Amino acid sequence: MKGQETAEPILKVQSGNWWTYVGAYLTPELAFRTLKNNDGGQISEDVIESRNDRETMKFGYTSGLTIECIFRKNFGFETGISYSNHGYQTKKEELVFGDIIDPRRGFNYTLDGTASHAKFIDHFEYIGIPIAFKYLGGNWLETWRFSASVGCTTNYLIRASSTLVLYYEDDSPGRSNQTSETEFEKFNLTPFIGAGIDYQLNPKMRLSAMPTLRYGVLDIIDTPITGKLYSGGIQFRWYMNL
């Protein structure tokens, strides 16, 4: 059959019981956080309620280099190194001179009077080592295969920062970046899970698209109000068979 003639050469170029790939990936994501009241106080509850009203998701991403070993064409594991930028942002809000534009930063006395709206974007940048277990489904639609991944990334925080975005009367934005002075926790563990499709581009190369969810299980800070970071997006991967 024509379909078999197309699929067979791709499967036969690899011999033995396992195959090794190197690759790279990029995951555009929507990132946010959960908040937790550690002291049980009413003031903390009020702050959490206020932040939940004012804050929303931001665009983030995870990228990295990877090495993958697949056993008997179906099961395998993967590791490598990753860089991620996650966090959250406040909603765009109208400004009044001297207004409290963020409950964590207090009054804003530095505006030149021309900005009409503002928002803050909080960034958490991590270097990580992911370890994942992989599954590749049987050959279907000739060169297309189902793929799934589950694992955990050990993350190290390299920078926490905040971007103030000011919107002027013509709606043009101005930005200023500042490294956070808050002592955030340096380590985090981020389990992830994903499922998608692999496409065998040629006997040496594969492409992959996989919707992926991540959730940091450790608190990002040790304070009365703490939080956990999470994100979701579509991971695009390129692999080359060694």
Q: Where are the domains of the chain?
A: 18-241
**For the chain, counts of helices (H) and of strands (E):** 2, 13
Predicted TM-score (pTM) of this structure = 0.84
Q: How far apart are CA 169 and CA 116, in angstroms?
A: 6
What is the structure's pLDDT at 168?
81
Q: Return the amino acid letter for 72.
A: R
Q: What is the pLDDT, as a whole number, of residue 242?
A: 84
What pLDDT shows up at residue 170? 67
What is the assigned CATH class of domain 18-241?
Answer: mainly beta
Query: pLDDT at position 95, please?
Result: 74
Q: Which amino acid is located at 104 in the chain?
A: R
Q: Which residues of the chain, if any, have pLDDT below 70?
A: 1-16, 96-113, 139-142, 170-172
- The rounded distance, in Å, linking the Cα atoms of 94 and 42 is 28
